[in-house]
Amino acid sequence: MSTQMSRPRVNVVTLGCSKNIHDSEVLMGQLKGNQMEVVHEASNIQESDIVVINTCGFIDNAKQESIDTILQYSALKEEGKINKVIVTGCLSERYKPELQSEISNVDAYFGTNDLPELLTTIGADYRHELIGERLLSTPSHFSYFKIAEGCNRPCSFCAIPLMRGKHVSKSIDDLVKEARFLASNGTKELILIAQDLTYYGLDIYGKRNLADLLRHLSDVDGIEWIRLQYAYPSGFPMDILDAMNERSNICNYLDMPLQHISDNMLKSMRRGTTKQKQIDLVHQIRDKVPDIALRTTLICGYPGETEQDFNEMLEWVEETRFDRLGCFTYSHEEKTHAHTLADDVPQEEKESRVEQIMEVQQGISYEVNQGKIGQTFKVLVDRVDGDYFIGRTEYDSPEVDNEVVLDARTDYARIGDFVQVKVERAEDFDLYGKVIK
């Protein structure tokens, strides 16, 4: 801990999704702008006076992890190892009164939209001139790039609109300014995120304007990859695929959570789409961008999901052969519409259904990867892991998708560099290759 006179040192701890990572980076940029020492998830607790925990309140497991983290740091405060504990983010937005009464030795609880107040509490001022500037917590060569906040969709299982509010797009001018700032600090890959990426612009431009934004970002010097995460199926703006075909620095990659396929489930989930529309959309996207990598996310065990609903989804996953897929058990979240329904699928049945889906997907991923042996890909090197360099192709997002493994004993690369890699071997979720000059 620092002496009385010097400015406090702040340790920012981030839980949850890439949108929370973005928000923590904005907070850290502001703290740095106030000449405060700031670290992200300091390994040594004694390094900091104040801990700010940016929590997640999405589903059960994530909520529990946030609560455990708050308890861990408030215990350290009791032991006198840190001075202040500040809690912010989605869990705090959603359960502030409960948290205040149950974990009362936390100095302050803030919501998802209280940055100026939070800064004041730790003796800093909100600096408007720093808008668009961040202190990255990811490797500097890639950055999560939040283009909008909140969501207007009525998905019955989802608590996010309760924590993040209505959809608010950032302007193209502000986003281009932010992209230039990041590129000037070494960022080469922008990973576009929002709750509903494809809703972009409807609020401020009166039309879906993601394609226009993509072209502006594609013109920013130094940006070599632009990746799209969290697209929504209904009202999907097909013109973003034209921008993808036009611009080589827009990755042929699309993450679009579809959640389910049976009409019975899609209707109850209030997804505003149907089985046939989703199937047609996937075909249209693959027709327009033939080598696109499609990622999706599914939920198993939603209230009322019958064996037949589940088998329909399992067959569809087998037929559709997504390049990347994540699957989660349904979480019964208070104040969501689905919470009025009976959570009637037993937990072990939910987990067994997820396992069945992921088993099928593992087989698909293995087969798809076998087809890549002998091919050459542009690879961005993310890190070193023992004797290996680990990187990604344009078809892979960090943390969630496949990786490319290079033997550092025989190959040379630098973190943040793009290298050409010839694939020599492939496994379920990893490719092994050699750098070719």
Binding site residues, ligand SF4, CB under 6 A: 151, 153, 155, 158, 160-161, 195-196, 232
CA distance 185 to 42: 23
| In the complex, least distance from residue 418 CB atom to ligand SF4, rounded to whole angstroms | 32
The minimum distance between CB 110 and ligand SF4, in angstroms, equals 21
Cβ proximity to ligand SF4, 233 vs 391, nearer residue: 233
Residues 198-228 as b/e (b if ≥16 CB within 10 A, e otherwise) read bbbbbeeeeebbbbbbbbebbebeebbbbbb
Strand pairing report for 403-407 and 418-426: unpaired
Please identify, using beta-carbon distances, which residue of 34 and 156 lies nearer to ligand SF4: 156
Q: Which is nearer to ligand SF4, 153 or 215 (CB)?
A: 153
Measure the CA–CA gap between 169 and 205, rounded to whole angstroms. Answer: 9
Least distance from ligand SF4 to the Cβ atom of residue 256, Å:
11
Q: 427 to each of 80, 373, 395, how far by Cα in Å?
A: 49, 10, 16
Q: What is residue 14's three-state secondary structure?
A: strand
- Quick one: 52 or 210, whose CB is closer to ligand SF4? 210
Residue type, position 211, single letter: A
Cβ atoms within 10 Å of 398's Cβ, excluding its own: 18
CB 201 within 8 A of CB 208: yes
φ, ψ of residue 226 to 5 degrees: the values are -125, 125
Name which of 183 and 294 has its Cβ closer to ligand SF4: 294
Give the burial class of 150: count Cβ atoms within 10 A of its Cβ; 0-12 exposed, 13-18 middle, 19 or more buried.
buried
Provide, rounded to whole angstroms, the least separation between the CB of residue 284 and ligand SF4: 20
Min dist CB 91 to ligand SF4, Å, is 16
Cβ-based nearer residue to ligand SF4, 100 or 234 = 234
| Nearest distance in Å: CB 194, ligand SF4 | 9
